[in-house]
Amino acid sequence: MEHAISRSMLLAIVLAPLLGSIIAGLFGRQVGRAGAHSVTILGVAASCAMSAYVLWQLAGQGAAPFNENLYTWFQVGGYEAHVGFMVDKLTAMMMVVVTFVSLLVHVYTIGYMHEDPGYQRFFSYISLFTFSMLMLVMSNNFLQLFFGWEAVGLVSYLLIGFWFKKPTAVFANMKAFLVNRVGDFGFLLGIAGILLMFGSLDYGVVFANAPSLLEGSTISILAGHEWSVATVICICLFIGAMGKSAQVPLHVWLPDSMEGPTPISALIHAATMVTAGIFMVARMSPLFEMSQTALEFVLFIGATTAFFTGLIGIVQNDIKRVVAYSTLSQLGYMTVALGVSAYSAAVFHLMTHAFFKALLFLAAGSVIIGMHHEQDMRRMGGLRKYMPITYWTSLIGTLALVGTPFFSGFYSKDTIIEAAHHAATGEHATWVSQYAYWAVLLGAFVTAFYSFRLLYMTFHGKERFREVAAHGHDAHAHDDHGHHGPVEPHESPWVVTVPLVLLAIPSVLVGFFTVGPMLFGTDWSGHHERLPFFLGAIDLSVARDTVMAVAEEVWHGPVAFAQHGFKAPAFWLAFSGFALATLMYLFKPELPAKARHALAWPVRVLENKYGFDNLWIDGFAAGGVLVGRASRAIDSKLIDGVIVNGSARVVELVAQLGRRGQSGYLYHYAFVMIVGLIVLLATLIRTLT
User: pLDDT digits over 196-214, tens only?
Assistant: 898 889 998 999 898 888 8
Is the pLDDT at 1 greater than 50? The verdict is no
pLDDT at res. 372: 82
CA distance 373 to 357: 20
Rounded to an integer, the average pLDDT of 491-499 is 87
Beta strand 66-76 pairing with 79-87: antiparallel
pLDDT at res. 213: 85
Higher pLDDT, 196 or 2: 196
Is the pLDDT at 521 greater than 80? The verdict is no
Is the pLDDT at 501 greater than 70? The verdict is yes
Helix (H) or strand (E) holding 131: helix 119-138
DSSP state of 519: I
Rounded to an integer, the average pLDDT of 492-513 is 90
In terms of Cα–Cα distance, which of 343, 312, 158 is closest to 248?
312
pTM (two decimals): 0.86
Rounded to an integer, the average pLDDT of 620-637 is 75
Q: State how far the alpha carbon of 472 is from the alpha carbons of 17, 55, 380, 465, 485, in Å.
A: 43, 50, 12, 11, 11
pLDDT at res. 468: 47
pLDDT at res. 608: 84
pLDDT at res. 194: 93
In terms of Cα–Cα distance, which of 43, 59, 168 is closest to 99?
43
Lowest mean pLDDT among 256-270, 440-454, 556-570: 256-270
Contact 262, 226 (CB under 8 A): no
Alpha helices in 406-474 (DSSP H): 408-425, 431-459
Provide the mean pLDDT of the chain.
85
pLDDT at res. 518: 84
Is the pLDDT at 542 greater than 60? The verdict is no
Contact 453, 580 (CB under 8 A): no
pLDDT band at 3 (very low <50, low <70, confident <90, very high): low
Is the pLDDT at 618 greater than 70? The verdict is no
User: Looking only at Cα atoms, what is the longest distance across the chain?
Assistant: 118
Peptide bond into 249 cis (omega under 30): yes
CA distance 381 to 161: 30
Instruction: Write out the DSSP string of 569-621.
Output: HHHHHHHHHHHHHHIIIII-TTHHHHHHHHTHHHHHHHHTGGGHHHIIIIIII
Lowest mean pLDDT among 184-188, 343-347, 538-542, 636-640: 538-542
Rounded to an integer, the average pLDDT of 262-286 is 85
| Model confidence pLDDT, tens digit, residues 43-82 | 999 999 999 999 999 887 778 889 998 888 888 877 888 8
pLDDT band at 481 (very low <50, low <70, confident <90, very high): very low
**Interior angle at CA 237, CA 544 and CA 273, nearest 5:** 85
| Model confidence pLDDT, tens digit, residues 383-426 | 888 899 999 999 999 999 999 999 999 999 999 999 999 888 87
Is the pLDDT at 683 greater than 90? The verdict is no
Name the amino acid, one letter, at 179.
V
pLDDT at res. 530: 62
Question: How many CB atoms are located within 10 Å of the residue 44 CB?
Answer: 28
Contact 499, 414 (CB under 8 A): no
Rounded to an integer, the average pLDDT of 231-248 is 91
Backbone dihedral region for residue 528 (phi beyond 0: left; psi -120 to 50: alpha; all else: beta): left
Helix (H) or strand (E) holding 81: strand 79-87
Q: State how far the alpha carbon of 170 is from the alpha carbons of 127, 129, 259, in Å.
A: 21, 19, 9
The fraction of the chain above a pLDDT of 70, given in percent, is: 91
Which of 190-194, 371-375, 486-490 has the highest average model confidence (pLDDT)?
190-194
pLDDT at res. 128: 94
pLDDT at res. 621: 65
Higher pLDDT, 52 or 527: 52
pLDDT at res. 478: 42
Could you tell me what percentage of the chain is helix, strand and coil, using 3-state DSSP and rounding each to the nearest 5? 75, 5, 20
Question: How many CB atoms are located within 10 Å of the residue 661 CB?
Answer: 9
Q: State how far the alpha carbon of 443 is from the alpha carbons of 436, 580, 680, in Å.
A: 10, 15, 94
pLDDT at res. 146: 93
Is the pLDDT at 638 greater than 90? The verdict is no
pLDDT at res. 474: 41
**Interior angle at CA 585, CA 580 and CA 588, nearest 5:** 85
Beta strand 225-228 pairing with 66-76: unpaired
Task: Collapse the DSSP code of 82 into the 3-class scheme (helix H, G, I; strand E, B; otherwise coil) and give the result.
Answer: strand
H and E: helices and strands count for the chain: 28, 4
pLDDT at res. 20: 93
pLDDT at res. 664: 74
Contact 133, 78 (CB under 8 A): no
| Model confidence pLDDT, tens digit, residues 117-156 | 888 999 999 999 999 999 999 999 999 999 999 999 899 8
Is the pLDDT at 439 greater than 70? The verdict is yes
CA distance 161 to 173: 5
pLDDT at res. 475: 37
Lowest mean pLDDT among 278-292, 471-485, 516-530: 471-485
Distance between start and end Cα atoms, the chain: 108
Contact 137, 524 (CB under 8 A): no
pLDDT at res. 479: 43
pLDDT at res. 53: 94
Rounded to an integer, the average pLDDT of 322-336 is 93
CA distance 347 to 568: 23
Residue 10 CB partners (closer than 8 Å, separation 6+): 54, 66, 85, 87, 138
DSSP state of 493: P
The fraction of the chain above a pLDDT of 90, given in percent, is: 39
